[in-house]
Amino acid sequence: MTTQTWIITGASRGFGRALAEAALAAGDHVVAAVRRPESVADLESAYPDDCLIAQFDARDVAAASDLVRDALDRFGQLDVLVNNAGRAVVGAVEEVSDAQLRELMDLHLFGPAALVRAALPAMRARGTGTIVQMSSQGGRASFPGVSAYSASKFALEGWSEALAGEVAPFGIRVLIVEPSRFRTAFNAADVLEFVEASETYRDLLADVRADMAGTDGRQEGDPARAAEIIVSLAHGDEVPLRLPLGREAVERVSGAYRRGLEEVERWAETARSADFEGVPASVRPI
């Protein structure tokens, strides 16, 4: 198997950590991009020739070029970029502030976008590369209480779908991963942020808040197995544009597609009636 070089953001724990461990175990090189270098010091000790620790805040768009340069200087190439760093804010639309919404957009969209732009020239030059965007089942279907999180993941997915079409001619692939609940730190008390509940929405979102706060350590998904799948795909000949991970994700994402199609079909005639009569449909390049 050809040795690949990975950049993985948020590699200190959760999916990022599992991916770093799986890639290193497969004989690959890993640049572990983390805010706290000490959190992955053990990986560098275990794989001194293959692991590089880079202090990096995924929201810092100005630091993206330096991170890519560090990877190229150390390992000479960049094969896989994983935009993994992320977290959630739980609260109703009226409860979440502009600052909180913007912070998630910085973390889940603007930061990854800057890192992709920094990585593309090196990938294009070699005519190969895989960009892994860690989204969520919440990036395809939303529900009350997670508007800010889903908004940022929906944005990442739309951006990434366009990206996939733009870079495919250069041999670069895009994989959007949509996990369900995995036993990561996502639901940990020091990661998951709950907005102060208002009187208006306290009862309405009580079950959502309790569910998300109480699931840490009980999630059905195995991050190690998920990481093995992603590493295998990165080394393989074909990757899907979207990959729901976990049984719940498969069911929820499938259900979202079915409900969306049913709604389109139900209102199709009303929607078609908005066009000028007798004017043929536009011919589009895509």
The β-bridge partners of 8 are 32, 82
Q: How far is CA 4 from the centre of its chain?
A: 20
Catalytic annotation present for 257: no
Residue 7: CB partners within 8 Å, gap ≥ 6?
Answer: 31, 33, 67, 68, 71, 78, 80, 81, 82, 115, 119
Q: Is 149 a catalytic residue?
A: yes
β-bridge mates for residue 147, sequence order: none
- Are residues 131 and 81 in contact, defined by beta-carbon separation less than 8 angstroms? yes
Rounded (10°) CA dihedral 91, 9, 175, 141: 0
Q: Is 147 a catalytic residue?
A: no
Choosing from 136, 153, 180, 201, the catalytic residue is 153
| Active-site pick, 47, 149, 150, 201 | 149
Q: How far apart are alpha carbons 30 and 22 in whole angstroms?
A: 10
Nearest CA to 243 out of 158, 181, 176 is that of: 176
* Other Cβ atoms within 10 Å of 8 Cβ, number: 29
> Of 12, 135, 147, 152, which is the active-site residue?
135
Tokens standing for residue 97: 């502030």
Residues annotated as catalytic are 135, 149, 153
